[in-house]
Structure 1
């Protein structure tokens, strides 16, 4: 399956798109199409504390994301075409504050670009309940989450196959050979994330393969298994389980995540040897939701993941650290309140405390027994009516501290992010 998808992704994406453009506009192709324009205003402010050669990363920018999705042509095999255009415009930046991930930075001057844009084209084929997408794809899988954490999204080139023909079972497979980061318009080979020198971040590959799926075992339990391989760098297996049940007047949720990772082939990024086991327990009662959980990272290295992507960990949604260093012990408490229960629909508040201990860093950064903490507050609101209906405001603030060595790339900081988003449905 991998070699077939690889061939299609390498040669068939453009051919598929050209073929679809030449297909008569069947009813499904037009009638099932949809278009939207998302406006995303993003302010990012990371104020570094303590000893640091950079005092702050602070920028403000406006993003435009146009999504045009066709339906499928009629017949046993349907064809379709998706287009995505993204534009980022600088509103405020300077050379000493650039590098937030909102805007590309000129290598020579160190200044952020005034604007940048890209166009993604995806051809798609459907048979029964199986779809193959070729071209620009944005996977959201346990072993690879295309990051939406800045103004514009991270994208990949390749092929992505999805099937739900078997009731209760969702199967997916894919081949990717290029990635484009959130603040870039240039597609590059796929690299491993390497902050603090945990891996050689310059190691690249032009082959990322994945295969896996989710199985709903009844209404309350979902099991997952995934396998991924970044050629000549690392391979990874994932097992997950989510269980939900009514318990008393509320709902109880258990979320289990297990990753097993080691180097693949020549191991160009260095030794990879990691087991990560995480568990969350959550309880929802009315507008209240309380989640507590923890994770253990063991082995000789940190857990690997693709550069710029979002690792699917118990620490997800942390905005200053991933808490996945070698031998790191992590725990957190998260409280969320939906003010709809108090008569204010659209308003949600979140408070969270995260702590990692026993982290093992490279020897040049001081070795092991390091700690890191993050305190996180979030308030979001979606306008419910009137001329501004569906405008979404999101305010996030975190205070991050660690005991890492002074020359570590992850430094103490106070970070604020403000988003104003609006999606206009064109048709």
Structure 2
């Protein structure tokens, strides 16, 4: 865990170094600060055969973001600071483990609060920026998860460049991760539900390189390469095409991953191809999306533990539908009530299904299946003192045909979020 006093001392030193320049440059003038308040209730009730009856917690999060501008000159310097605090509102040892709060090993209870401080130095030249320290990539090969109380963060260097018109380049080196419910920076591991991989295998290096190119208006192509040292490597190809079709807008989304083990393959064999395709049509307040993906190869698709895989099943509440040989499809309907004169109100319903799943024999072997139904209602207040406050209620019903006593078999999940960002300056 980073020592808060040392981080604060380092931040002060850097500020003093650039203090003179800051007075006559954008370092201070272009700075911005915000405080996000996030109230989160999480309730997962296990209906089927399980040795766990429920995971149920309620917590309040505070996320402070302070971002400087850049000093003057061909090369500009800046500094960002992120402070996060999670406060327990309701939890117990028999219901802990939702990911909102840490769990103490000795007692199985969640602490009353937990916090972390992140510091990021940044450098800008033309349209390129290098960030070193605490970073939160949101790329096809790594999405820092924001889906609990606090963000998942990484430690390392992240370079972004937009010097070529239409082309956005990304490269990075990461050596530690800090999970959503943790205050410690740990070595990087691979997600391993259902015993897919050796989740105890650790790595000190995650490297990535790639970019997105707007070939034509409405058409963007992507390529990324990633490597978790001694565990797995992955290549990604993607394409998004949006265009007018009749009175509405049509969208095609293609995603293709190829993964294999890297170096010593400390987490076990990795052999996977994942090809996905989705079609969506938006007309007025309506949007209908139909999509799916197909996994092939001898193993599941790997991704960093705690992160969000960039798949057609993204934002699924109870599963990522990534077991070996899984065939996945989904139908999703969204409605924006602004079309009826109620701006800020939206709703979503989605059904997802995965079949042909290959699991270890202890979990049922081949031919397994899983499904999930999601409902969501969200509203962003449009005016008044609470303008911008977002309220969201989500419910999911998840079922699978895995063996008895598997991690999930049949559960009902409800999440309630209230979030408000206060701009400090």
Correspondence for 2:288: 290
Counterpart Cα distance in 2 of 1:21 and 1:123: 14
2:279 to 260, 281, 293: 281
- Give how far 1:16 is off: 9.3
Counterpart Cα distance in 2 of 1:230 and 1:15: 29
- Deviations 1:26-67, CA, capped at 9 Å, x for gaps: 321011100000000000000001111110000000000000
SS in 2 for 1:98: coil
Counterpart Cα distance in 2 of 1:33 and 1:122: 14
- Deviations 1:276-318, CA, capped at 9 Å, x for gaps: 0000000000000000011100010000000000000011110
2:348 to 343, 347, 350: 350
- Give how far 1:21 is off: 3.9
- Whether the 8 Å contact between 1:357 and 1:369 is mirrored in structure 2 is yes
Correspondence for 1:11: none
2:117 to 116, 119, 130: 119
Counterpart Cα distance in 1 of 2:263 and 2:11: 32
Counterpart Cα distance in 2 of 1:83 and 1:203: 31
Correspondence for 1:22: 17
Worse overlay, 271-280 or 402-411: 402-411
Alignment of 1:45-194 (within 5 A): 45-194=43-192
Counterpart Cα distance in 1 of 2:293 and 2:358: 15
Counterpart Cα distance in 1 of 2:11 and 2:266: 34
Correspondence for 1:246: 244
- Give how far 1:19 is off: 4.1
TM-score in terms of structure 2 length: 0.96
SS in 2 for 1:113: coil
Counterpart Cα distance in 2 of 1:271 and 1:413: 31
Q: Which runs of 5+ in 1 are unaligned?
A: 1-13
SS in 2 for 1:196: helix
- Give how far 1:407 is off: 3.0
Counterpart Cα distance in 2 of 1:193 and 1:101: 15
Name the CA shift for 1:390/1:353 in 2 (closer, same or farther; >3 Å).
Answer: same
- Whether the 8 Å contact between 2:399 and 2:408 is mirrored in structure 1 is no
Correspondence for 2:202: 204
- Give how far 1:324 is off: 1.1
SS in 2 for 1:30: helix
Correspondence for 1:258: 256
- Whether the 8 Å contact between 2:50 and 2:408 is mirrored in structure 1 is no
- Whether the 8 Å contact between 1:279 and 1:314 is mirrored in structure 2 is yes
> How big is the alpha-carbon RMSD for the aligned residues of Structure 1 and Structure 2?
1.1
Counterpart Cα distance in 2 of 1:154 and 1:398: 23
Name the CA shift for 1:314/1:122 in 2 (closer, same or farther; >3 Å).
Answer: same
SS in 2 for 1:364: helix
- Give how far 1:18 is off: 4.4
- Deviations 1:207-253, CA, capped at 9 Å, x for gaps: 00000000000111000000000000000000000000000000000
- Give how far 1:383 is off: 0.5
Q: Which runs of 5+ in 2 are unaligned?
A: 1-8
- Give how far 1:363 is off: 2.3
- Give how far 1:419 is off: 0.2
Correspondence for 1:3: none
- Deviations 1:245-267, CA, capped at 9 Å, x for gaps: 00000000000000000000110
- Give how far 1:367 is off: 1.2
- Whether the 8 Å contact between 1:29 and 1:72 is mirrored in structure 2 is yes
Name the CA shift for 1:218/1:17 in 2 (closer, same or farther; >3 Å).
Answer: farther
- Whether the 8 Å contact between 1:142 and 1:311 is mirrored in structure 2 is yes
- Deviations 1:110-150, CA, capped at 9 Å, x for gaps: 00110000000000000000000000000000000000000
- Give how far 1:337 is off: 0.2
